[in-house]
Structure 1
Amino acid sequence: MARALRLARRARYSARPNPHVGCVLTRDGAVIGEGFTQPAGGDHAEIQALKAAGDARGATAYVSLEPCAHQGRTGPCADALLAAGVTRVVAATRDPNPQVAGEGLRRLAAAGVAVECGVLEREARREIAGFIARMERGRGRMRAKLAMSLDGRTAMASGESQWITGPAARADVQRLRARSCAVVTGVGTVLADDCSLTVRAAELGLPPEDIALATAHPPLRVVLDSGLRTPLAAKVLDASAPSLLCHAADTPVPQALAAAGTALCALPRDARGLDPHALAAVLAARHCNEILVECGPRLAGSLLRAGLLDELVIYTAPVLLGSSARPLLDLPLAHMADKVALQIEDLRQVGQDWRITAIPTAHS
């Protein structure tokens, strides 16, 4: 199963909106075939493994997610395993998709296949946490990437911010982008930095075959721009990756923007700008499992207050920016009782910087 999970990670850059899954077929103690989820519309992991094996009669299938039992773009994997003569299936976890939800394992068991489930389940569920979140609660998993100095500052008072962290941390961010379905930012960041939010192959630090998968399937770039101030020439709207410009429903769309064919999405307003819950619903409707937020302190604070940030990934650089520099989050709190508690999931050095992975306790 550990091998199946390693295979699944090969598909984390290209399987979306499907969950990335790995499958290993064994017989008489030897691996006879293995595979991982191909890009949407292509083979699932089980089909790849069956093709690699050629003859899978009497084999055991180790798969990191319950084999599907419904007809989508491809046929049911449970039926394919039965047709191939597989006699034992070990799954890491059940599929939370209501179209499956245990039916794949039930179908296999009813046909006489020996079935087990729950091997390395925690690791498997962590690997596809965004897909599970979208299936179980109706929206994907939202992660904010933040970079700060040792004194908790993100930019100088003038807005100057490049570069707080070093190249190793920036490469780590590229890998986060590559595994995301969507990357969200605010118009303020676009106007200040003219960011492209693309996946840069040279910075990924991955094997060539994984780089090819990551760059062939870039995430959707989403700009929150209530007043439609994003220039047509902005890099985030170029043809290198898909883009979506979210604006307030009461903002008229400029003729030039409409004529350019820019993808637009009208959202309702709330007290502080565009309604973040409406944004989450739009991204869920677009089957976004993993959502990366790269933005300034105002949008990050708004999403945290709305309870939409499932994880904070904070890169801390060994520098001081001083008391007049901008804070990590726009999060005005008046009393100690208002503090936001975090559960630290991981702390590690990345080059000369430190990466803190934290979960607001409401999501733990």
Structure 2
Amino acid sequence: MTAPAFTEDDRHFMRVALSLSKRGLGNVWPNPSVGCVLVSPEGMIVGRGHTQPGGRPHAERVALDVAGHHAKGATAYVTLEPCSHFGKSPPCATGLIEAGVARVVCALEDPDGRVSGRGHQMLRDAGIRVDIGLFADEARRVNEGFLSRIERDRPFVTLKLASTLDARSATHSGESQWITGSAAREQGHLLRANHDAILVGANTVIADDPTLTCRIAGREDQSPVRVILDRKGDVPVSAKLIETAEVVPTWLVVSDTHFSELSEKFEKTSVKVVSAGCADGHFDLHEVLRTLAGLGLTRVLVESGGSLAAALLKVGVVDRVVHFVAPSMIGDDGKAMIAQLGVTQLSDMPRFERVSVREMGEDIVVTYDNKTD
């Protein structure tokens, strides 16, 4: 099949749709975060929309409602294939057909087995021209979490690190607040807002008693689910994460063998207790992530101590590293930001590709992607 010839106008309007799609990151799971722009035959935007909090309504429905009768004869620019199945609402493909849209430009086919080409075929069967593939890489990056859950049965995992120049996350006494400056910390809160969940280990909760909320003005209601890995239920009921679980969803992942007793321990709290398998006294992290995916999570931000970070790196499930680096040093007696990995040969090192470097006040933030998949 000959690849479609996209115009500069096509590129412009798809960029607008991609920008819209980013607005839903962190608050539309388990659905993808989609953007849609409707453009009249005269080249005017008559409707725009993005997936709404909770995943409904979909981007196409929002844009169609804005456009009204102006959608007839329009071109729809959509970042992911319009759905073709009945769920909590009618298919978006049906909505586009009924509105009289003349053409659909789509960035990416939806790999979800309930859609996977069927939405595009519905549109073609209705006589609508469908062109696919414009800015597909960009669309895949926006929805890398949703795609990971569908294609790999686990969320996309981002490991957040903060350290000095010599890779120390705290002094030998454990003091770590604050290694980085206010601009870097604000960026860290933005990361929280754009993820479905924050994952931490029990030791971090016991040692620091954090709140793990989003504290950006105007986005306080976008705090992600807080997920604690606590095999034996060591986290006290008095911990801030437990006490505030009614306000911000908090999940406690425990071992299968302790599930019953720990469900009873936390039954008077608002904590959701879930279980996962363990072996040799450690969680099966692959199973943990499958469990989280099964509960709908698509994007998980890890804000843990060095031990959990190392464990995730060892099993190869870290997809991205966001490293905040302060222009300071602590020395060899400080705490390393990553615990022992057991690497004896350089060929066994986890490897990442640097994709961006940005200044954040006096600090820098470096983003790396895992390219082994």
Q: TM-score range by the shorter chain?
A: over 0.9
- Shift of the 261–26 alpha-carbon distance from structure 1 to 2, 3 Å rule, reads closer
1:158 to 2:163 alignment? no
- Structure 2 counterpart of 1:205: none
- Structure 2 counterpart of 1:43: 57
Q: Where in structure 2 are there 5+ consecutive unaligned residues?
A: 1-13
CA distance in 2, matches of 1:40, 1:337: 43
SS of aligned partner of 1:142: strand
CA distance in 2, matches of 1:188, 1:144: 17
How far is 1:181 from its partner? Answer: 1.2
Q: 5 Å matches for 1:304-323?
A: 304-323=313-332
RMSD: 1.6
Query: Which residue among 95, 99, 114 is the counterpart of 1:99?
Result: 114
- Alpha-carbon displacement from aligned partner over 1:185-208 (angstroms, at most 9, x marks no partner): 011111111111111133xxxxx5
Could you list the runs of 4 or more consecutive aligned residues of structure 1 that deviate by over 6 angstroms after TM superposition? none
- Structure 2 counterpart of 1:340: 350
How far is 1:41 from its partner? Answer: 5.5
How far is 1:172 from its partner? Answer: 0.9
Q: 5 Å matches for 1:1-364?
A: 1-27=14-40, 28-40=42-54, 42-55=56-69, 56-202=71-217, 208=218, 211=219, 215-237=220-242, 238=244, 239-251=246-258, 252-253=261-262, 255-271=264-280, 273-330=282-339, 331-363=341-373
How far is 1:361 from its partner? Answer: 3.7
SS of aligned partner of 1:201: coil
- Shift of the 83–254 alpha-carbon distance from structure 1 to 2, 3 Å rule, reads closer
- Alpha-carbon displacement from aligned partner over 1:222-259 (angstroms, at most 9, x marks no partner): 11112211111111121330011112233342854333
How far is 1:52 from its partner? Answer: 0.8
2:224 alignment partner AA: P
How far is 1:287 from its partner? Answer: 1.1
TM-score for the superposition, normalised by structure 1: 0.93
How far is 1:42 from its partner? Answer: 2.6
CA distance in 2, matches of 1:362, 1:140: 16
How far is 1:128 from its partner? Answer: 0.6
- Alpha-carbon displacement from aligned partner over 1:237-292 (angstroms, at most 9, x marks no partner): 21330011112233342854333353212222233622211210110111111011
2:231 alignment partner AA: S
Contact 1:7 1:36 in 2 (8 A): yes
Contact 2:26 2:299 in 1 (8 A): no
Contact 2:103 2:129 in 1 (8 A): yes
Q: Where in structure 1 are there 5+ consecutive unaligned residues?
A: 203-207
2:238 alignment partner AA: A
- Shift of the 192–90 alpha-carbon distance from structure 1 to 2, 3 Å rule, reads same
1:360 alignment partner AA: N
Percent identity over the alignment?
39
TM-score for the superposition, normalised by structure 2: 0.91
- Shift of the 168–21 alpha-carbon distance from structure 1 to 2, 3 Å rule, reads same
The alignment of Structure 1 onto Structure 2 pairs a total of residues equal to 353
- Shift of the 147–32 alpha-carbon distance from structure 1 to 2, 3 Å rule, reads same
